[in-house]
Chain A
Amino acid sequence: MINSIIDLQKFKDIIEYCKRCGFCLPYCPTYEIHRRIETISPRGKLLMSLGIITGNLRIRLRTAELLFSCTLCNRCSQACPAGINISDTLLRTRILLFKNKLLPHSISKIVSNMILERNPYGVDLNNKNFWFDFTSMEIENKANVAIWMGCTTALKRPELAAHVYEVVKYFEKSVAVIDNEPCCGIPLLYAGDLEGYYRSLKESLKAISTTKASIVITPCPSCLRAFRQFPQLFNVKVPFRVMHVIEYLWERIAKKKSMKLEYHNEVSVTYHDPCELARHMNIYKEPRELLKSINNINFIEMNNSGINSKCCGGGGLYMGFNFDKALAIASLRLYDVPKGVKIITTACPTCESILSVAINNSGRPLKVVDIVDIVHEILFS
């Protein structure tokens, strides 16, 4: 499997199916935000990848910067007549760039943060436990169900981390967490460091094994992919069931209509599909059914939702690579909020974080929350 990722002939073979029709162009958020310049389009990036493989385009730092101008949202693939999985293909290109030691400065910084501090933000790993202060519940380290919080939730949204823990604990007798949880390795994979991801994965699996859990729940779509999807690249079998917290809550609350929740007042909400949860992991139904099952919540679909959902700009390390442009993409996403809606829900700490900044900048009477926040509010108010 791993050999096929870095096999240039196979890589070339995939790109050769590209008909250069450009049908992907209107679906690319970075292309749009860069005023439609071809080098930032999915087609342009595939062509540059082909140029690099065939030796017709030399790799330099600028090439890498253009190729990293991508959120890996994969919306482009929905429009590709040739059926190319464009974000997977561009991930291969990143692996090639990493092998050639050509990474944009901000991406190199993320990689070095990962090496030095085992998280992409470069903060002391001890801060991963900071969210413990936000809950009065007892923290446990061994249980059948464990929470894998992920760097962004634990470090950037400690209140959400506490909410996740408390909500899961509402349903379980015992829930374990990992002291100084390491990173799942996804930032390294998205930087093109395939081996680095593998090392992180092994370290993460070892850390999880200390909890003795058979079910691991995470609020982060990237971490979910790190344990559910990408281990296949290395034929690694993950020895537990990994679930996104929304899948878990859907099973507990909405699947068998076993529990009826009621929000404290009537409110219209919409849902922003995180690209990694939706297009990459095919999780569309669960968040919708969960929201619709709650009394007093009037669920209205966002424009451009589901498989055609627009990206928030935060994925694929793009927020770390070019924050201003990522924020501009998030600001565009706000135009898809239907009239009358005051709350955008989502299920990804990165989406929530950047949409929240976009809302603050826009001055619009909107707020963005994780679905877990809503469930927590109902269960614990």
Chain B
Amino acid sequence: MSVDDRIDKVLRILRETIGEDKVIDEEEELYVYGFDATPFYFSKPHAVVRVSSVDDVIEVLKAAHSYRVPIVPRGHGTSLTGAVIPISGGIIVDLSPMTKIKVEPDNGVVEAEAGATVAEVDLECNKYGFFLPPDPASAEVATIGGAIAEDSGGMRGARYGTFRNWVLALDVVIPGGKLLKLGAPVYKRRMGYDLMQLFIGSEGTLGIIVKAVLKIIPLPESISRFLVFFDNIENAINALKEIRFSKINPLIMEFMDLETIRNINEIFKLNLPEHEISLLIDIDGYSSSLIEISERVVKIFKRHNVSEIIQARSDEEAKKLYAARRAAYPAIARRYKIIYSEDIVVPLSKILPTLKEIKNIERGYGIDIVTFGHIGDGNLHPNICVKERDPELIDRAKKIFEEICDIAIKYGGVVSGEHGIGIQKLLTFKRMLEIHNSLDLLEYMRRIKQIFDPYNIMNPGKILN
């Protein structure tokens, strides 16, 4: 049977089992579901199936497994690495109609279906005085299923890490239509090999996450927020080091380089001070103790020759400082048509040389690199910015992209902290393993994939080539 015949057969089965209206193979859907949030990748699926229940997903994976039809699970298509591009065609399984959320404050957990957005889940938790710690920049639109499959992080990553640290249990459907109930909705669990962790960050290559139980924690009573500016990056990094060594564990430690601030000022007229580097720091705790801790933090900044300190004195001011950091991406999105968003992670001690080397690359190629990110966990987002869709400029940008990844690899870091491998970093990922003398890990990964997905129907061409 040809690929088209097999797909037709699967679609006929699905129209009967889950319903005509959920199976779409119209030109318009095939076109728009061929994109994600990456600037270049595009590939049409053969069909889009909009599932609204676990049973629907089971039926899809039963049929697709029988007829060996590629499956690409998709939430809201916010991947920055091409993870939901159907490069082999097949069926996109759109989980966005699955949006149920149930908070259990007594148990300190929230249960969410894959299609609920991270922000929707967090907002529900907030109603009970809790919050979901991982906070990807795309939280308002990124789905829980996608965020877990990509192991997303966010600004609070330095304190709370990525989704991996907060998932307690997962319901996953694997090819053949078997529903696996992984983990348990409790804070500690020994259950043999932790198969649940395999699915976190697996980018839809092993099965489809349909539901998750996540640990939630109480909202901080109070937050003290600073936006501080240094003329010397080394001083800024040393200040952060001293904060840590002073037994202070900030909730957020973000940074923006001078180019970022200049772009924000130019586009949004925020009139922020323009210095070599700026840090957004959140210290949380009880208001009674925060005054004293904040004073200690200010003293540390001063010891390291801070140029300017803006400390929020009200909720309104705190919102403004946060908005300044959130303006970093929009500021470049308005100036440049194409943005390659890097996602490297380096050891904290290598942040300084990494930033210096990125500057050197920028000078060498004559293409703007605007860098901001999560300085508290070494996860940097150098953004390679191209004004026009000019093939020569794009080619240069791609070279820069690889060189920046090489810096991370050289310093013992990784090429992705929270965006994933997808298609974009397939070769870079392989190169990283090779340089780290770990290429054989790919073989173990292939064998694991084969256990769950013997016919390689799950998101083929991602992570493993």
The verdict on A36 contacting chain B, using a C-beta distance below 8 Å, is: yes
CB-CB < 8 A to A83: which residues of B? 267, 330, 333-334
Which of B27, B32, B35, B37 has the most CB atoms of chain A within a 10 A radius of its CB?
A: B32
CB-CB < 8 A to B29: which residues of A? 37-39
B140 and A48 form a contact (CB under 8 A): no
CA gap between A83 and B327 in the complex, in Å? 12
Shortest Cβ distance from B337 into A: residue:
A16
The verdict on A3 contacting chain B, using a C-beta distance below 8 Å, is: no
A62 and B28 form a contact (CB under 8 A): yes
CB A297 to nearest CB in B, in angstroms, measures 26
Name which of A22-30, A214-222, A337-345 contacts chain B: A22-30
Interface residues on A, range: 20 to 34
- The total of Cβ contacts below 8 Å across the A-B interface reads 89
CB-CB < 8 A to B37: which residues of A? 19-22
CB-CB < 8 A to A267: which residues of B? none
B138 and A36 form a contact (CB under 8 A): no
The verdict on B411 contacting chain A, using a C-beta distance below 8 Å, is: no
A63 and B76 form a contact (CB under 8 A): no
CA gap between A279 and B249 in the complex, in Å? 42
CB A77 to nearest CB in B, in angstroms, measures 12
Q: A36-B115, A38-B32 are in contact. Are A17 and B333 (CB under 8 A)?
A: yes
CB B301 to nearest CB in A, in angstroms, measures 30
Shortest Cβ distance from B74 into A: residue:
A38
A39 and B32 form a contact (CB under 8 A): yes
CB-CB < 8 A to B96: which residues of A? 35-37
A22 and B138 form a contact (CB under 8 A): yes
B119 and A26 form a contact (CB under 8 A): yes
Shortest Cβ distance from A66 into B: residue:
B28
CB-CB < 8 A to B337: which residues of A? 16-17
Shortest Cβ distance from B78 into A: residue:
A22
B334 and A37 form a contact (CB under 8 A): no
Within 8 A of B (CB), among A1-25: 16-17, 19-23, 25
CA gap between A310 and B350 in the complex, in Å? 46
CA gap between A25 and B146 in the complex, in Å? 15
CB B372 to nearest CB in A, in angstroms, measures 13
The verdict on A205 contacting chain B, using a C-beta distance below 8 Å, is: no
The verdict on B50 contacting chain A, using a C-beta distance below 8 Å, is: yes
Within 8 A of A (CB), among B67-124: 76-78, 94, 96-97, 99, 115, 117, 119
The verdict on A44 contacting chain B, using a C-beta distance below 8 Å, is: yes
Name which of A50-58, A105-113, A327-335, A353-361 contacts chain B: A50-58
CA gap between A19 and B39 in the complex, in Å? 7
**CB within 8 A of B31: which of A22, A25, A56, A82?**
A56
The verdict on B217 contacting chain A, using a C-beta distance below 8 Å, is: no
CA gap between A160 and B165 in the complex, in Å? 59
Shortest Cβ distance from A83 into B: residue:
B334
CB A204 to nearest CB in B, in angstroms, measures 36
CB B260 to nearest CB in A, in angstroms, measures 14
The verdict on B436 contacting chain A, using a C-beta distance below 8 Å, is: no
A81 and B334 form a contact (CB under 8 A): yes
CA gap between A68 and B77 in the complex, in Å? 22
A38 and B77 form a contact (CB under 8 A): yes
CB-CB < 8 A to A39: which residues of B? 28-29, 32
The verdict on B141 contacting chain A, using a C-beta distance below 8 Å, is: yes
A23 and B36 form a contact (CB under 8 A): no
B141 and A22 form a contact (CB under 8 A): yes
The verdict on B160 contacting chain A, using a C-beta distance below 8 Å, is: no
CA gap between A360 and B385 in the complex, in Å? 52
CA gap between A148 and B78 in the complex, in Å? 46
CA gap between A182 and B25 in the complex, in Å? 44
CA gap between A68 and B329 in the complex, in Å? 30
B330 and A47 form a contact (CB under 8 A): no
A25 and B141 form a contact (CB under 8 A): yes
CB-CB < 8 A to B138: which residues of A? 21-23
The verdict on B316 contacting chain A, using a C-beta distance below 8 Å, is: no
CB-CB < 8 A to B141: which residues of A? 21-23, 25-26
B333 and A47 form a contact (CB under 8 A): no
CA gap between A140 and B394 in the complex, in Å? 66
CB A303 to nearest CB in B, in angstroms, measures 12
CB-CB < 8 A to A21: which residues of B? 37, 78, 138, 141, 333
1/0 contact string of B319-353 vs chain A (CB within 8 Å) = 00000000001100110010100000000000000
Sort A-B residue pairs by CB-CB distance and give the 5 closest, nearest first: A81-B330, A81-B333, A36-B96, A44-B32, A82-B333
Can you give 20 contacting A-B residue pairs, CB < 8 Å? A16-B337, A17-B333, A17-B334, A17-B337, A19-B37, A19-B39, A21-B333, A22-B77, A26-B117, A26-B140, A38-B94, A39-B32, A43-B32, A47-B31, A58-B27, A62-B26, A63-B27, A79-B140, A82-B333, A83-B333
Q: Give A contacts to B, CB under 8 Å.
A: 16-17, 19-23, 25-26, 35-39, 43-44, 47-48, 51, 56-58, 60, 62-63, 66, 79, 81-83
List 15 additional A-B contacts (Cβ < 8 Å) besides A26-B140, A81-B333, A82-B334.
Answer: A20-B35, A21-B333, A22-B77, A35-B50, A35-B97, A37-B50, A37-B94, A38-B29, A44-B32, A47-B31, A47-B35, A58-B27, A60-B27, A62-B27, A63-B27
Q: Give B contacts to A, CB under 8 Å.
A: 26-29, 31-33, 35-39, 50, 52, 76-78, 94, 96-97, 99, 115, 117, 119, 138, 140-141, 267, 329-330, 333-334, 337, 339, 389
